[in-house]
Chain A
Amino acid sequence: MKMKKLLSLVLTAAMTATLLAGCGNAEGSADVATTTDGSAVFKIGAIGPTTGSAAVYGTAVMNGAQIAVDEINAAGGINGMQIELNCQDDECDAEKSVNAYNTLTDWGMQALVGTTTSGCCVAVAAEAAADNTFLLTPSGSAVECIAYDNAFRVCFSDPNQGIASAQYIGQNGIASKVAVIYDSSDVYSSGIYEKFAAEAANQGIEIVAAEAFTADNKTDFSVQIQKAKDAGAELVFLPIYYTEASLILAQADQAGFKPMFFGCDGLDGILGVENFDITLAEDVMLLTPFAADAQDELTKKFVATYNEKFGETPNQFAADAYDAVYIIKAAAEKAGLAAGMSPSDVCDALVPVMTEITVDGLTGEGMTWSADGEPSKAPKAVKIKDGVYTAM
């Protein structure tokens, strides 16, 4: 009996050992940066939520990045290297995001497109900085996402959007009495709101009502709408995502409240909401870097490919990710990356050239970066007219 116990103990220990060792070996084999047919590869990782409540954003990023990778590979790759893309799910949880990042490190990732959401991005950026891995977040808009030297972003930062919105409203004299309805449990939304409120004072805009909701109760907005109405707001600023915005528009209409509505890039996608009467979105203004029905060649081609492959119209997250892959390509070509470089060497090579490149992408023409990682591109203000975006 004693022998048996001992034996089982030894066996368990051996099993655990092989389990752990197996993981270790995977790391070793990942160093060989070639595909099965022997050509050189460049490994790009992507992280975003593909399950859970924020799955729509993560999936868009994965799809957008995949399209860019397919296009680049078909055209010969980066400096002759084919790109390999590995997407990992983080469930929109910082802890899981770090796990996903570590998984990609084991896989041999040389550059990261991610993470999709701000909160996770802050945690992963700290890990990436410790490992010296190049990080380019398509949509992590919080300021802290790119606090480190190795981190850059494609989208606007939250403060930039808030300030730009206030300036746009103030300088064009659109309205002087503004109500804000925002999601206080969301980093993106409260980040924009804070900067908007700060800048509004400089622009002579009076914020007559600032009404918050949280992720736990985002279906009934009658209270917020009523308060905005009672305060006599001429314009309602909605720094939120389109799902909630579509409800607000519908409920405001029912309440007989017809102010102007103004939003940020989160509103992009509102015309695609199911069962939403798009006439309600008539005259809604939004600042967005990407409009799916823009008429330039690049956007048309991207939207067509996306539709064909995934059966839906891409949102700005997909566009940001698409651009992110092309930005890495531009930087990698400028830096003259060769096959088989370690992630740290890749990072050292890419960071200095990021400030030198100029990229024309879906989300802006002539995008450049400053050393702190912020992109410089002009926000496009669009107005919805007859169910389509029109430039203002």
Chain B
Amino acid sequence: MKKLKTMNKNTKSNMITYLMVIVAYVIVQIFVVTGNMSSLMEGLLVPVCTYVILAVSLNLTVGILGELSLGHAGFMCVGAFASALFSLGMKDSIENDLLRFIIAIIIAAVSAALAGILVGIPVLRLKGDYLAIVTLAFGEIIKNFINAIYLGVDANGLHFSMKDTMDLGMGADGTVLIKGAQGITGTPKCSTFTIAVILILISLVIINNLVNSRTGRAVMSIRDNRIAAESVGINITKYKLIAFTISASLAGVAGALYAHNLSTLMATPKNFGYNMSIMILVFVVLGGIGNMRGSVIAAILLTLLPELLRGLADYRMLIYAIVLIFMMLFNWSPQFINFRKKMMAKIKKDKKAEKEA
């Protein structure tokens, strides 16, 4: 107990976040095991976790590094395709599902990190709106590039083309792994809620520890005052690149989760386009920029909301948008914040009066 009191405020806040995730996990597991969970909810568990990881990882770029990135879905796309390709190719070689999935996740993280470095080197020289626009463009480029890839394997090895499947020139025994716009089909379904929650915890630990480290402080100093940071000898490009790459690689992990939850993987504007990037950004902004716990909660709520509104049929996207606007106002509008403060003060006053009386 004493330890808890002397604990650093940051550490305490982080512990609350971890505890929250674990408690939520336990509650949900109880519902699943006792069979009280609807199949819709059960099917949503892994996607929700995927979006939580995406939101948390983007919060690193937006909240801690202070740069607006609109290409986050592109890194998710890289991770998704890299891991799905590995799983499909190794389906017969590695029998153990869990082992194969873990390797796939690592591959996703590494490949997305590589993409992050490649994109980061030119992009991070820019700042503000310019950076946002260029990341948006890179996100789209990644998606369109993957849409043009044809990859097959036969007895002679791998065949690659950017044109069509005939151009691969494979033997009769060949199988096409990536089929251009049709993407990858037949990814084994390995994503489970337990693995997803463990990945959320790992992401949170990585990000929280990074933020409270020497590197994290350097990154935040760049956010707060670039010139001052540079003048005390902080290598701006290096620290920016570190934060950006970690953010990208965690997005890749989320991509692996996504890919192994569905048997089909296509890079459509819907799932890996800028719509998705903006969606993740909405989670981050709504949850509070720089606030990891907020991102987790916002991602959970906003992923569940459209599905819970299914009863409203065609009106649900309309209602969803209205709810978004209201939530945004409630969280960020100065008037609302004043109003909230006033109400809180009033409640406190009433309580005090009650006690005194």
Contact = CB atoms under 8 A, between A and B. Distances in A.
Decide if A and B are genuine partners: yes
A75 interface: no
Contacts of B269: 215-216
Interface stretch (B42-50, B61-69, B243-251, B329-337): B42-50
Contacts of B261: 95
20 contacts: A13-B23, A13-B27, A20-B27, A23-B40, A24-B36, A24-B37, A88-B310, A89-B313, A92-B268, A93-B270, A95-B262, A99-B44, A101-B43, A102-B42, A102-B44, A103-B40, A105-B39, A119-B268, A184-B164, A216-B144
Contacts of A32: none
B264 interface: yes
Contacts, number: 123
The 5 tightest CB contacts between A and B, nearest first, are: A126-B263, A23-B38, A24-B36, A102-B43, A122-B264
A198 interface: yes
Contacts of B31: 20-21, 24
Chain B: interface size category: 35 or more
B280 to A, nearest CB: 14
Determine chain B's interface SS by DSSP, over half rule: helix
B185 A103 contact: no
Contact of B307 (A103, A127, A184): A103
Given A24-B38, A27-B38, A102-B39, A94 B148 contact: no
A20 B34 CA distance: 12
Contacts of B291: none
A51 to B, nearest CB: 6
B211 to A, nearest CB: 25
A186 interface: yes
Name the residue in A24, A88, A92, A210 with the highest tally of chain B Cβ atoms < 10 Å from its Cβ.
A24
Interface in B265-291: 265-266, 268-271
A95 B38 contact: no
Contact of A98 (B166, B185, B262, B313): B262
Contact of A190 (B43, B144, B180, B316): B180
A145 to B, nearest CB: 10
Given A20-B36, A51-B314, A106-B40, A144 B268 contact: no
Given A20-B37, A194-B165, A184 B47 contact: no
Given A50-B314, A92-B270, A123 B264 contact: yes
Interface string B166-200: 10000000000000111101100100000000000
B36 A21 contact: yes
B252 to A, nearest CB: 18
Contacts of A20: 27-28, 31, 36-37, 41
Contacts of B148: 184
Interface string A18-58: 00110110110000000000000000000000111000000
Interface of B: 23, 27-28, 31, 35-44, 47, 144, 147-148, 164-166, 180-183, 185-186, 189, 258, 261-266, 268-271, 307, 310, 313-314, 316-317
A218 to B, nearest CB: 13
A17 interface: yes
Contacts of A123: 262-264
Interface string A186-208: 11001101100110000000000
B271 A93 contact: yes
Contacts of B262: 94-95, 98, 123, 126
Contacts of A319: none
A254 interface: no
A23 B37 contact: yes
A197 B166 contact: yes
A214 interface: yes
Nearest to A92: B270
A285 B342 CA distance: 72
Given A20-B37, A194-B165, A99 B43 contact: yes
Nearest to A129: B263
Contacts of B41: 20, 23
Contacts of A91: 270
> Which of B23, B36, B37, B147 is packed against the most chain A CB atoms within 10 Å?
B36
A216 B147 CA distance: 12
B189 A99 contact: no
A116 B31 CA distance: 33
Contacts of B28: 20
B46 to A, nearest CB: 10
Given A50-B314, A93-B268, A102-B43, A16 B27 contact: yes
A19 B313 CA distance: 20
